[in-house]
Amino acid sequence: MGRRRKKVVRVPKKRLPKFFSCPKCGKETVRVEIFREENRAVAGCSSCGLQEEFQIRPAQGEVDVYCMLTDRVYGSSKRTAINTGNA
């Protein structure tokens, strides 16, 4: 009489998506290309034609460039002062 073997549960590794959701048209068609030699990245939507170019640092990846694209489209890169009056 032997023991039963434990069932091995393999957890799949999560991977970054190749295509992101477009902030303008809402489709999953935004692709990010990074040119490390030139320290720049291009994010473009193949559905609506939205395309932006960004200067990047060596440690930044595709997700960071996509976040910069959504910030530029939604206009949250402009910071406004909340408390400008004397308190």
Q: Give the tens place of pLDDT for each residue, 29-53.
A: 999 999 999 999 999 999 998 999 9
Average pLDDT over residues 1-7: 81
The amino acid present at 35, given as its one-letter code, is: F
The amino acid present at 67, given as its one-letter code, is: C
Residues contacting 39, CB < 8 A, separation 6+: 55, 56, 57, 58
Distance in Å from the first CA to the final CA of the chain:
80
Work out the number of other CB atoms within 10 angstroms of the CB of residue 55.
10
- Average pLDDT along the chain: 86
Q: What is the pTM of this model?
A: 0.71
Strand order in the sheet with 40-45: 30-35, 40-45, 51-55
Q: Are 42 and 52 in contact (CB under 8 A)?
A: yes
pLDDT at 28 over 80: yes
